[in-house]
Every structure is written in structure tokens, then in C-alpha cells.
Copies of this chain bind each other. A is one copy, B any other.
């Protein structure tokens, strides 16, 4: 996020701290320094520490003067354009010796962000750089065929994304299902063999407990270790990260294949280990990785370039694919194509357009369809009727509701909002504690193990102390534990715990009335509430959807049971229906989504469209109540991590401000034709990512020129790396296209990989064909809400602020809209 900010640039001069102009000192100290090259950097001296100081005092028309004044006390000796005689410099800086110039930094340009405590996020380049090379490609694409071909390829990629995401989801699904079944069958057998069938008062649960601990701790420890040591970015659900990415914040390593592999193993181990989490959240992340991987046609993890899809190698195209991948992931996780698409739109996407939505939907449908085929085949069915696609279980009868139930739904919503807000707040506190006191890696793994053990212990205690025996039904799919119960009964508590959380949600939705004691459900809801709160934030890959739904389903069902217990005439209170509404309310309270959640719940349970109304009432109430206290859990996580997310609307405190009040200045500029050496040094000494390109530099100072474009750091590095100089243009000009720049995307080399310029030190770079000639320029007097709209709508990274004479007054980046 240091995008071309120079406002807090401090030019640390090593040996001195007096007020004498920095540069005279430098020239005294070392004639090796190409001093004039850094003229601009020097001019932007350390006095201007606060944003916009240089322009703050000026009103319309006098902005330039404001900046000029800054320079009046810079010695005139600096103020001439660099004009090296190659020899003089080469003589002073002989080739190899200059390598140790690094160890003697003459100026260290430090950005504000590096100094502050917030992490150093970079922006993505969602802005299409419409330079001459791009225009050339565009001209080709004006031919109908090229454009059609690109469009068809785009469709093919989206379809591939859908298929592969679904295959990955299936694999994770099946592995979790099989392993969990093995684990819980083993545990149940162990229980049965250790507690004699007739023993209904108590017995020895120590051996099964130890087995349980072991079968939980082993996978959890393995998963947590993978996550912690191999790829820490895979911790959590991944939704906040994907959301940040789609908003334009670069989250390192978020879309690598290695990340996907670790995430998949992490999810499997954690769910099998019995942590209070679900696999649904990570699916969106998995889909995003798949999308990014396929669309780019190369993999960093495998160091392999398949040489396909080259035209899609930029942040802008990648972003759209990632959105499609996320949608495909949710769809596959829930078997809900519309829900998946809406989830992506509501929670993840920051930029939409109609075509994109359209492609996203197709990816979602393909994904669900693939899932259906694979799972149907796996379960030995020949048609597409695999009901496992309703992964929260299909309601057999249509759910109905009456007028007078609407206030009840609303009350449930309010309860969900309160519980959700409390959950969010508690979870944030726990995570803050975690961050402060458990910074080392081994500790994080241990913590996960401890939480896993805590879960098993609490479950065991519940099973041991609560005696909830229910008559055996005829359903052969249930594996009941007889533990402490009569011969024709099963232990309802054990039934809740001896399965994956997802299966428990299903039970709560669909078990017939009277399947549990009130105490059982109350304890279960409480324990799971605490457990899920302690789990989300551990260094394991787990989502928050299923545990949240589970807690909601538990207290929803509980409320129906309590009401029925108090007023036996209220037998209309179908407990499964209230479990569903409770789940919706709790989800609304924690996640604060509404549309997509209600659609997902409808699609995963097969309820009628008319039941949409109760669901949305609960969700809206929950959201409104929750919003009164805090933000949704994903947004909270983003905020806690200081990710510079651009909101949908400008923050209230920005209303009434003008661009000049938020800009960062002064700015490091580059001339349209500048020396390679100057560019090299600028890149070396400052870490900005965008540099305004100026022209019409009459006198000396670049920042006095008129803006004619903007060039990115990555472009400059490629130019230097490939030696695209004016002097040798006959070599490179014929075969340099936009592809030259795309080839190094997205892992642009650092300036360190550029060899010292040596013989090319007096070569010139002509930026005319490389720079973006249409940078978004706003006037220093423009209102911030207006420029925010532009910044947001176009997904900009840099916005140039110019004064009335088209001279640079400052630069605005993402951070300027968020932290003031």
C-alpha cells in the first residue's frame, strides 16, 4: 500500500541531523552519488511530513505556488536537469564496485506505512493500463474474430473453473464423509464394548474418551502444523481474504496452488478431527485458487507455464475469474447455484457487471451439476436425484406458517442478532488475546490441539452426565449408541456428538419432535457456541457457516421445545421449522448477509418459495439488531487485520472534504523521456508503485512539469530488465508487445534483479509507449465523495490530483480514503 506515496518520505541522511540542506552534505561526502538524479526526491524533503502540507494553505489557482514555495530554500545547485557525460559517471562508479552502494544507502526513502504499525498491503492493478502496446492489441481485437475468440476462451475457462472446483469439493466432501464415518463408528464400537449394554447408570468411558482424544488430536495437530508451518494464509475460512482480494488488496500467496493443497488438507483434518467448523467457507477460497490458476495458464508452485490464456494475465481479468471461482466454490459446497452466485455478489464482490454475473452463474451451475454427477455416481445412483446435494437435508413436507408466527420469527431474528453480535465481539476479543500472547508457531499448533481436546472433553461430559434416552426409530441410516440406555433406546446426546457438525445440523432440522431433552439441546447450544467461538481464529482451515447454523438450529429447536413444554397447546410449533429459522437468525447475526443466506438455506433444504418470507424476516431482524452493535464477522476480521478495504460509500467523515485535504504529496515524478539511471535510482531508493509521467519540464524540477501519464513500478522494472532504451530501440521495438509485460505477471521481479546499468547508464527511456496515457486526474478542489466514486467504480490504484494548471498537486491511493 505504499503506492506512490511520498508524503512521509523521509530522506535519512546518515551522519547529520542539522537543518542544513541535505544534499550539500551528500555532495561533500561522496562524489560517487549521482546526486542530480535524485533531485526530485531531494526536493520532496522531509519537512513536508503531513499530508498535503505543501498545498494546504493555498486556494484556487495557487496550488502550484504552494509547491514551489517548498523548493525556494533548496539550493539552486540541485535545480538542473541531469545531464551526465557518460564517462564522468562511469569513471566515478566503476561497474562492480557500485554493487556495494547498497550497503551504503545515501538516502533511505521510507514510506509512511512501513513506519506505522499496520501491515503493508499492496493494491492490485485493476485499472487497465491503456498504453500504446495495449492499444495495438486492441486494434487487432477490433477484428471480429479475435474478439470472439477471446470471449469463447473466457467462457471455456469459466466452465473449467466450475468443473474443477466441483471435483475438488467432491473429493474433500467424500474424504471427510468416509473418514468421519470410520472415526465415529470406531468410537461407538469402543463405547459399546466398554460400557456393557445393560449398564444404564454409568460405566467406564475412559477408554473411549482417550480414543476420542487421540482421533481428534492427531488430525487437528497435523492440520494445524501444516497450516502454521507451510502456509499460514490458509488459516480460517478464507472468505475475508478472498473478499479483500476482490476489493483490490493484494494478499500475498492467496491464490497459489500450494495454498489450495494446504487448505484442502487443513479442512479435511480439522473437520475429521471434530473441531467446531465447516468445510463451506474454505470452498470459496478453493474455488478462487482454481480460478486464478486456470485462468492464468501457469503455476508458480509448480514453476510451470502452460503457455495458454496469455491474454488474461493481468489483475483485472484475474479478478473476474476469481469471483467466478468463489461462486463455484460456494455452489459446490452447498449444492446451491443461485445461492452461490448471490453469495459471491453479496459478500465477496466489490465490482460487478452484467456479463460477469452471467458468467459467474454459469460457473456455479456447471459446478453444481458436476457435483451432482460425481456424488450420484459415487453413491451408486443413476439419475440426478442425489439428495445429498441438499446438504442440510430436504424438508419432505412443505413448511407452512401462519400470520401470528411472523412476530415469533422476528423475535428469533432479534435473538439471533444479539447472540451473533455477542459471538462476533467475543471472537474478536479471543483473537486479539491470541495475537498478543501466542505469537510463536508451536504455540499455535498446541492451541488448536487444546481446543480440540476441550471439545472432546465437553462432549464426553455431556454424554456422561446428561441421561437422554430416546426410543429407537426404524431409520437404518442412524447409527445409534445405546450407551446408558435401555435395549430399544439410543443415547440422544451421543447421537448429536458422534457425527460431523453438518450432519448434526441435518438432524436438528429433520429429527421428529421429541428427539431430544430440553437440557440436552440447551447444553449443546451453549457448548457449541463457546467452542465455535474459540475455534474460529485458530490456525486451522475452517469455515464459520456450519457451526453458526448449528448453534442457531440448536437454540431455534430449543425455543420451540420450551414453548411447547410451557404451553402444550402450541403443538403447531414444528421443531424442525424453528431450527431452520434459528439457524437463519444466527447466521444473519454472525455473517450479516441476507439475500444469499436465505437463498442458500432454501436451496439446501428444498423449502418452498413461500417460506422465503419467514427466512428473510428472521435474517433482516438479525442483521439490523446485530449491525447496531458491530460488523459481520468477515468485515470484523478484515478490520482487525487493517486491510485497506474500500467501502461501498465514502466514509461519513469524508463528506464535505476536498481532494486537496486528503492527497499525499509531494510526489516522485518521472519525465516522459528520462534517463535510465534516474529511473533505476528512483526505483532503488523509493518503494512507490506508481509514478506520474511529466512533460513540458521547462526548467529543472520534474514535479513542475505537466502530467501526461502514469507508469507503474512493475513496468519500469521490466523496461530496465529488458533494456528497452531509446538508444537500442532497433533491437527490441519490432517484437515488444504488451505480452512482454504480461509474461512476468504476476510475480514482477524486484529492482534488485536488475543489474547495475553499467554501460547503459546514459541511455534514455521513452515512456510514451509504456505509460498509461489516461491516468485518472482529478482537480485539487474536487469533492472527496465524487472522487471516491470514481476511484471505487474504476478500481483505481493511483489517482493523480492536479491543480488548475495540470501540474501535479498530489496523489491519492486507497489508503487516503480510509485512514485519516
Which residues of A pack against B, CB within 8 Å? 60-61, 128, 130, 135, 138-139, 141-142, 147, 336-338, 341, 346, 352-355, 357-358, 361-362, 365, 368-369, 372, 383-385, 389, 400-403, 594-595, 599, 602-603, 606, 608-610, 612-613, 616, 620, 648-649, 652-653, 655-656, 695-696, 706, 708, 773-774, 776-779, 781-783, 785-787, 789-790, 793-794, 802, 804-806
Interchain Cβ contacts under 8 Å between A and B, 21 examples: A60-B708, A139-B656, A337-B613, A338-B595, A346-B354, A353-B649, A361-B594, A362-B616, A362-B620, A365-B616, A383-B400, A383-B401, A606-B609, A706-B804, A708-B781, A774-B781, A776-B786, A779-B806, A793-B793, A802-B806, A805-B806
The residue of chain B having its C-beta at the shortest distance from the C-beta of A347 within the complex is: B354
CB of B357 within 8 A of CB of A595, answer yes
Q: Given known contacts A401-B384, A805-B805, is B783 in contact with A130 (CB within 8 Å)? A: yes
Q: A718 to chain B: closest CB distance in Å?
A: 21
CA distance A68 to B731 in the complex (A): 42
Between A341, A610, A785, the greatest number of chain B beta carbons within 10 A of the residue's beta carbon is seen for A610
Oligomeric state, in copies:
2
Q: Given known contacts A401-B384, A620-B362, A786-B776, is B354 in contact with A648 (CB within 8 Å)? A: yes
By a CB distance below 8 angstroms, the chain B residues around A135 are 656, 783
The residue of chain B having its C-beta at the shortest distance from the C-beta of A402 within the complex is: B383
By a CB distance below 8 angstroms, the chain B residues around A384 are 400-403, 610, 613
CA distance A790 to B606 in the complex (A): 42
**A781's contact among B610, B773, B785, by CB below 8 Å, is which?**
B773
CA distance A372 to B787 in the complex (A): 45
**A774's contact among B355, B357, B779, by CB below 8 Å, is which?**
B779
**A695's contact among B60, B362, B777, by CB below 8 Å, is which?**
B60
The residue of chain B having its C-beta at the shortest distance from the C-beta of A792 within the complex is: B793
CA distance A652 to B649 in the complex (A): 31
CB of A790 within 8 A of CB of B776, answer yes
By a CB distance below 8 angstroms, the chain B residues around A708 are 60, 781, 804
The residue of chain B having its C-beta at the shortest distance from the C-beta of A366 within the complex is: B613
CB of A358 within 8 A of CB of B793, answer no
**A358's contact among B61, B594, B612, B774, by CB below 8 Å, is which?**
B594
By a CB distance below 8 angstroms, the chain B residues around A602 are 609
Q: Given known contacts A400-B383, A595-B358, A655-B142, is B603 in contact with A609 (CB within 8 Å)? A: yes
CA distance A804 to B139 in the complex (A): 27
CB-CB nearest 8 A-B residue pairs: A793-B793, A774-B782, A774-B783, A774-B786, A130-B783, A603-B609, A804-B806, A138-B655
Q: A14 to chain B: closest CB distance in Å?
A: 40
By a CB distance below 8 angstroms, the chain B residues around A789 are 793-794
CA distance A555 to B777 in the complex (A): 57
The residue of chain B having its C-beta at the shortest distance from the C-beta of A655 within the complex is: B138
A-B contact sample (7 more), CB < 8 A, given A384-B613, A790-B794: A61-B696, A135-B783, A142-B655, A147-B652, A338-B599, A357-B595, A777-B779
By a CB distance below 8 angstroms, the chain B residues around A776 are 786, 790
By a CB distance below 8 angstroms, the chain B residues around A402 are 383-384
CA distance A361 to B353 in the complex (A): 19
The residue of chain B having its C-beta at the shortest distance from the C-beta of A620 within the complex is: B362
By a CB distance below 8 angstroms, the chain B residues around A606 are 608-609
CB of B138 within 8 A of CB of A656, answer yes
CA distance A228 to B352 in the complex (A): 40
By a CB distance below 8 angstroms, the chain B residues around A779 are 774, 777, 806
**A613's contact among B365, B652, B773, by CB below 8 Å, is which?**
B365
By a CB distance below 8 angstroms, the chain B residues around A793 are 789-790, 793-794
CB of B365 within 8 A of CB of A130, answer no
CA distance A616 to B362 in the complex (A): 9
Between A355, A362, A606, A612, the greatest number of chain B beta carbons within 10 A of the residue's beta carbon is seen for A612
Between A358, A606, A616, the greatest number of chain B beta carbons within 10 A of the residue's beta carbon is seen for A616
CA distance A385 to B620 in the complex (A): 23
CB of A337 within 8 A of CB of B783, answer no
Q: A361 to chain B: closest CB distance in Å?
A: 6
CA distance A346 to B806 in the complex (A): 40
CB of A142 within 8 A of CB of B652, answer yes
Q: A799 to chain B: closest CB distance in Å?
A: 11
CB of A130 within 8 A of CB of B785, answer yes
CB of A361 within 8 A of CB of B142, answer no
CA distance A789 to B609 in the complex (A): 38
Q: A71 to chain B: closest CB distance in Å?
A: 21
CB of B361 within 8 A of CB of A595, answer yes
Q: Given known contacts A60-B695, A138-B656, is B783 in contact with A773 (CB within 8 Å)? A: yes
CA distance A802 to B609 in the complex (A): 54
Q: A15 to chain B: closest CB distance in Å?
A: 42
The residue of chain B having its C-beta at the shortest distance from the C-beta of A609 within the complex is: B603
**A338's contact among B353, B389, B612, by CB below 8 Å, is which?**
B612
Between A346, A616, A774, the greatest number of chain B beta carbons within 10 A of the residue's beta carbon is seen for A774
Q: A697 to chain B: closest CB distance in Å?
A: 12
The residue of chain B having its C-beta at the shortest distance from the C-beta of A781 within the complex is: B773
CA distance A361 to B593 in the complex (A): 13
